[in-house]
Amino acid sequence: SLCRTVFHPLCMQYPPSVNYRRCFLSELIKKHESTPTEPLDELYEALADILNKEGSTHCYKSYLLPSGDAITLSESVAIISRGTTGLVTWDAALYLAEWAIECSTVFANRTILELGSGIGLTGIAICKVCKPKEYIFSDYHQCVLQQLMENINLNGFLYKPEAMNHGIVHSENQKAELKGKQGPNITIAELDWDSVTKEKLSELQADIVIAADVVYDPEITLSLIGVLQKLSSCKTDGKPPEVYIAFTIRNPDTYHQFQTELARISSPSINTVRPGFSTRHWAGRSLLGSGLGTFSWEILLDGQ
Ligand SMILES: C[S@@+](CC[C@H](N)C(=O)[O-])C[C@H]1O[C@@H](n2cnc3c(N)ncnc32)[C@H](O)[C@@H]1O
């Protein structure tokens, strides 16, 4: 079992956090000791080895896709670091990725804009599995954007930095590489919901807009609503984009505020939740290493 977990080639190359490995091995030893078998030296040696290691502020997490392919991300070990929540993968990102994999036709051959991408789990899963035409990752925090770029590279994709606020120029080499590559066109955009203009959003020509875990603070919710309102008047092939948002309901007040504000800006293109069809509660099922509990969450389907 060690070869399939702590000594798995993926974990050797991209190790999970020291703390996680300690807990995992202690648990494995406890389980083993509760069975009527001989103690296994390699378990104690592996634990002794990890007990001697210093913890770090960064770790890797690997998530297995149903195809057996893996996504590996460099993440922060703290849920809030450098003043942002964006340096870890949140449960809603995992759920949205799972949902996207199950409903991959929604994304096939479309242009997707992701708001508040964080370090990229959902988008990388969609790019690996759902065959989108173009995927635009976006966030506004510089450290998050930096980590996002690293993670996209780590998973074998090339990207084009979008000159949203700063004029980022591509090298000739980068342009040639982007032309010759397979798979979706990937862009990373610096996009702040508070300052992005309708014109900028229109230029992106998104068919689909997605976001995970972006409803967690009343102030942020208002900014999100602002950007959704602008998006509702952006048309691609004569239609506004479809919007899918996944979130964990931590505080019912914040959730209700989001629903109320969403209803307030309702237009033919942004509808409120359609109960039954559009609200799904998923619980428990997880990808490798996510350690999910049973959060309730929702996907809001809009514009359909
Ligand atoms: C809780 S994290 C979720 C990250 C990722 N989607 C996930 O679920 O793992 C919220 C993300 O929203 C981004 N965000 C917050 N306010 C924003 C704003 N005004 N404009 C753009 N992004 C914002 C943060 O930088 C952060 O990456």
Q: What is the pLDDT of residues 7-25, one digit of tens each?
A: 888 889 999 999 989 998 9
Region of poorest pLDDT, from 14-23, 117-126, 240-249:
240-249
Spell out the residues 6+ positions from residue 52 whose beta carbon is closer than 8 angstroms to its own. none
Distance 118 CA to ligand 1 centre (A): 6
pLDDT given at position 296: 35
The residue type of 196 is V
Burial of 41 (0-12, 13-18, 19+ CB in 10 A): exposed
Instruction: Sheet with 297-301: list strands edge to edge.
Output: 160-162, 185-190, 134-139, 111-115, 208-212, 242-248, 297-301
Report the pLDDT averaged over residues 258-275: 60
For the chain, the structural domain boundaries read 9-56, 79-301
Pocket test for ligand 1, best of 98, 141, 149, 195 (most atoms within 8 A of CB): 141
CA distances from 223 to 62, 104, 183 (A): 32, 29, 32
Residue with CA closest to ligand 1 atom 20: 192
pTM value is: 0.84
pLDDT at residue 276, rounded to an integer: 31
> Domain 79-301, what fold?
Rossmann fold (3.40.50)
CA of 136 to the centre of ligand 1 (A): 14
Q: Which residues pair with 245 in a beta bridge?
A: 211, 300
Q: For position 297, what pLDDT does the model report?
A: 41
Residues in the chain: 304
Query: Could you tell me which residues are beta bridge partners of residue 10?
Result: none
Render pLDDT for 60-101 as a digit per residue (tens, 0 to 9). Answer: 999 888 888 899 999 988 888 888 888 999 988 988 898 888
Burial (CB count <10 Å: 0-12, 13-18, 19+), residue 279: middle
d(CA 20, CA 186): 32
Residue 211 alpha carbon to ligand 1 centre in Å: 9
Instruction: Judge contact between 181 and 206, C-beta under 8 A.
Output: no
Q: Of all atoms in ligand 1, which is nearest to the CA of residue 114?
A: 6
Does residue 98 contact residue 104 with C-beta atoms inside 8 Å?
A: no
Nearest CA to ligand 1 atom 4: 118
| pLDDT of the residue at 241 | 87
Confidence of residue 242 (pLDDT cuts 50, 70, 90): confident
Q: What pLDDT score was predicted for residue 286?
A: 28
- Give dist(CA 161, CA 51) in Å, integer: 41
